[in-house]
Chain A
């Protein structure tokens, strides 16, 4: 981050926001062995690259339990795709189910963790990630609402601010909601936050950023996590 930009955010010089791979790695650290995890399209899909040295089962909404990494060109199996329609591998021990069974697994609370991107997250856990407008453009929703309603835990991974510097962690979402009170944790390039009874609680901060600097970029009161 340039010095000018750092001053503009109220951050200290030497503030290093986490890169996307670093955010994904930070989130991956918090996934224990044995969990069944669904990763949404976009930044969340990076997380699986950083789960190493332990067995985590990645579920894909189109009916794959035991999704592996992206196929290399020489591995091409065109009948295997993930939720983002990319060609992926299966891991040893994988299984395939149809769409109703996949969403029964999701809705029935059998997924330990879902990781999604978002436009906005509110201090009570409401979040908006499926559309920026109900009137303009072509709408699309996919599996996000089902995942939010059914997963045991929902963690959001997203940039802390929008491209124009607008707040994405807010008292109340302005954009159309994906689900009410669904989010329990948020990972951004500035920090990691739990959604607690009083709102956002700081779990971790990116190097060089002060709490005041962080608060200035956040549209809701940040609490320190109780020790």
Chain B
């Protein structure tokens, strides 16, 4: 019987090696696998390359603790800066954390391509800007494009709304974001799910991620992400 459910976060995080490339889902706090990242802090793997949209906030959340304790060599992300990104700012300024800054759409497509067996692709994004530096450019049908490489990771840390024992997943509203593509783009996809349901409860037209992409599922019914503060324009 196929059963990807594991009993604890520690069990979910077993075997992650030093030097791993780790994808983490989330757009800010929404859909962010906070508990798996906390499990990674506990598990001890170091010299990591992290890949995600943001770089954490404050000093308490697991992502910033992972960075502050020197376990992260490099982060590939699109928007590290926030009003509270103190740890990223400090580590980056001190030269202790390398940043590869990637436009958000390019980041998403590099991850999608990594899961889809496409090693590289052309995009018009960032042509003619500072982020084009060092990249091959090519004219196709009269427009300029940059060549971007796929990202294929060792580990993907995903938050899902529902999961079954085959690893079929659904996501909730804007908790979807990077999670479905990250789930496809790693050798070891680990999922924390708010709800574990019977096989068949997620119908064929409802599964956002087919279970073949998923290796481990752990039940983490923590509730809702913290409500976002309304920023002023």
Nearest-CB distance from B64 to chain A (Å)?
A: 14
Q: B108 and A99: CB pair below 8 A?
A: yes
* Neighbour of A139 across the interface among B80, B175, B179, CB < 8 A: B80
Q: Which residue of B lies closest to A139 (CB)?
A: B101
Q: Which of A7-15, A62-70, A203-211 is near enough to bind chain B?
A: A62-70
Whether B228 sits at the interface, judged by CB under 8 Å, is yes
Given contacts A100-B112, A134-B130, A149-B124, contact A86 B231 (CB under 8 A): yes
Whether B72 sits at the interface, judged by CB under 8 Å, is no
Given contacts A70-B230, A78-B30, A138-B92, contact A146 B177 (CB under 8 A): no
C-alpha gap A87/B225 in the complex (Å): 11
Whether A5 sits at the interface, judged by CB under 8 Å, is no
Nearest-CB distance from A171 to chain B (Å)?
A: 17
C-alpha gap A149/B128 in the complex (Å): 11
Whether A51 sits at the interface, judged by CB under 8 Å, is no
Q: Which parts of B154-184 form the interface with A (CB within 8 Å)?
A: 171-181
Q: Which residue of B lies closest to A67 (CB)?
A: B174
Nearest-CB distance from A22 to chain B (Å)?
A: 13
Given contacts A85-B28, A85-B228, contact A138 B89 (CB under 8 A): yes
Given contacts A87-B230, A138-B92, A145-B103, contact A100 B108 (CB under 8 A): yes
Q: Which of A176-184, A191-199, A215-223 is near enough to bind chain B?
A: A176-184
Nearest-CB distance from B65 to chain A (Å)?
A: 19
B-contact 0/1 string along A73-105, CB 8 Å cutoff: 000111111001111001000001111101110
Q: B127 and A149: CB pair below 8 A?
A: yes
Q: B111 and A100: CB pair below 8 A?
A: yes
* Neighbour of A78 across the interface among B80, B129, B176, B225, CB < 8 A: B225
Q: A103 and B124: CB pair below 8 A?
A: no
Whether A166 sits at the interface, judged by CB under 8 Å, is no
Nearest-CB distance from A150 to chain B (Å)?
A: 7
* Neighbour of B173 across the interface among A42, A96, A103, CB < 8 A: A96
Q: A141 and B176: CB pair below 8 A?
A: no
C-alpha gap A107/B121 in the complex (Å): 13
Nearest-CB distance from A66 to chain B (Å)?
A: 12
Nearest-CB distance from B94 to chain A (Å)?
A: 12
Given contacts A78-B228, A80-B173, contact A106 B181 (CB under 8 A): no
Whether B43 sits at the interface, judged by CB under 8 Å, is no
Whether A169 sits at the interface, judged by CB under 8 Å, is no
Q: Which residue of B lies closest to A141 (CB)?
A: B103
Across-interface contacts of B85 in A (CB, < 8 A): 138
Q: B225 and A103: CB pair below 8 A?
A: no
Given contacts A85-B29, A107-B109, A142-B78, 10 further A-B contacts (CB under 8 A): A78-B224, A79-B224, A81-B28, A85-B228, A90-B173, A99-B27, A144-B103, A145-B103, A149-B124, A180-B129
Could you write out 19 A-B pairs with CB less than 8 Å apart?
A78-B225, A79-B30, A80-B173, A85-B29, A86-B231, A98-B171, A98-B208, A99-B27, A100-B112, A104-B109, A134-B130, A138-B88, A142-B103, A143-B78, A145-B125, A145-B131, A149-B125, A149-B127, A176-B129
